[in-house]
Amino acid sequence: MRVYNFAAGPSTLPLKVLEKAQSEFLDFAGTGMSVCEISHRDKAYEAVVKSAEALVRELLNVPDDYAVIFVQGGASTQFAAIPLNLMQTGVADYIVTGNFAKKAWQEGQIYGTANKIGDSSDKTYTYIPDVDKLAYTDGADYVHITSNNTIFGSRYSKFPKCKAPLVADMSSEIFSREVNVSDFGVIYAGAQKNLAPAGVTIVIAKRSLIENPLKICPTMLKWKVQDENGSLYNTPPAFAIYMANLVLENLKELGGVKAMQQQNEYKAALLYDFIDNSKLYKNNVVPEFRSIMNVPFVTGSEELDAKFVAEAKKAGLVSLKGHRIVGGMRASIYNAMPVEGVKALIEFMKKFEKENG
């Protein structure tokens, strides 16, 4: 039986996509081979990469002067690729709003001066600093943000308007809400939260910014090289890109990012409203900054939290344990989580509150 999977990543994928992948697994595009066995230089596979790129461009309205590439190493490798590709003066700004934002900032320090210009750790990352009041460094090469904080369940309600190019880690929210790509210099995202299985990372970068990577930048991390080679510089993560393509086709069928955003806002509102009106559960994020993808909550008792997670699992609602840094529970309700899954969770929460409140 398929469960409702609330894992933060790798996470649930659309059932239709899994079924399609299953149906053509042994014979991909009439080749008599699975997509995992075929050369990445085969026309049938090249078409997949081209389609995935075209769909990213279409669904996010990516301007033509931006590269869209598929790379390996996860978002964490991009923490290094960002300074390696973008540092010109060697100074960049970072806003630290969570665990991954902090890691990106720490990685930046290896290659240059990484100024932490904002930090919400004083309140365990339950808010986003006021982006209009930060002391952006004059002449910085870029400003790095994590647009949605997967572990703490917060997100930017508005983005910085800074002179330097804005670089955003959107790993846990890409394709979940509309963004204006031209407001960003670079958008990047590991796929395993909202797009595909683990193994592929998307980078969308303004081409004029990626002309001069640092001399020490490994060839594989040069976005320009990946762009010039259509993401086929070396063997790509073929299956993950194939799955991303199916998910993007599915997203288009469902009405694209705008329709998905409406559904995501609806799902998140159901859950937050229920939590806010309950006596047992609490979400500590400042409402303005609440994520519509990751919803952490606690009962106030570690013992009860553990009981909740265990009983939910028995009810077919799995992977609700919060990240080890924050404890409690976390419901990740990505694009692929159906409304029925969120409703089933709320019904379970009601029942659990009645029995334990």
Ligand X SMILES: *Cc1c(COP(=O)(O)O)cnc(C)c1O
Task: List, in sequence order, every residue forming a beta bridge with 217; answer none if it has no partner.
Answer: none
Residues 7-46 vs ligand X: string with x where CB under 6 A?
Answer: --x-------------------------------------
Is residue 74 near ligand X by the rule CB under 6 A?
yes
Under a CB-based contact definition with an 8 Å cutoff, are residues 150 and 9 in contact? yes
With CB under 6 A, what is the number of residues at the site for ligand X?
Answer: 12
Nearer to ligand X, 207 or 323 (CB): 323
Nearer to ligand X, 9 or 256 (CB): 9
Choices 164-172, 209-217, 260-268, 285-293; region in contact with ligand X by CB under 6 A: 164-172
**What are the structure tokens assigned to 298, written together?**
């606690």
Interface pick for ligand X out of 150, 194, 245, 299 (rule CB under 6 A):
150
Cβ of residue 186: shortest distance to ligand X, in angstroms? 14
**What are the structure tokens assigned to 231, written together?**
């993401």
Interface pick for ligand X out of 144, 155, 177, 193 (rule CB under 6 A):
193
Nearer to ligand X, 45 or 100 (CB): 100
Under a CB-based contact definition with an 8 Å cutoff, are residues 178 and 158 in contact? no
Residue 70's nearest CA partner among 234, 194, 210, 182 is 234
CA distances from 302 to 209, 282, 320 (A): 48, 13, 14
Is residue 100 near ligand X by the rule CB under 6 A?
yes
Q: Directed axis angle between helix 99-111 and helix 74-86, to 10°?
A: 40
Choices 74-82, 155-163, 254-262, 329-337; region in contact with ligand X by CB under 6 A: 74-82
Please give the sequence-ordered ranges of beta strands (E in DSSP) within 55-194, or none if there are none. 66-71, 91-96, 113-119, 143-146, 148-149, 154-155, 166-169, 186-190
Nearer to ligand X, 145 or 280 (CB): 145
Under a CB-based contact definition with an 8 Å cutoff, are residues 203 and 53 in contact? no
Cβ of residue 78: shortest distance to ligand X, in angstroms? 8
Residue of minimal Cβ distance to ligand X: 74
Nearer to ligand X, 169 or 305 (CB): 169
Residue linked to tokens 């930046």: 108
Nearer to ligand X, 11 or 299 (CB): 11
Interface pick for ligand X out of 53, 93, 169, 305 (rule CB under 6 A):
169
236: preceding bond cis by omega (within 30 degrees): no
Cα(332)–Cα(217) distance, rounded to whole angstroms? Answer: 35
Under a CB-based contact definition with an 8 Å cutoff, are residues 11 and 189 in contact? no
Site residues (vs ligand X, CB under 6 A): 9, 74-76, 100, 146, 150, 169, 171-172, 190, 193
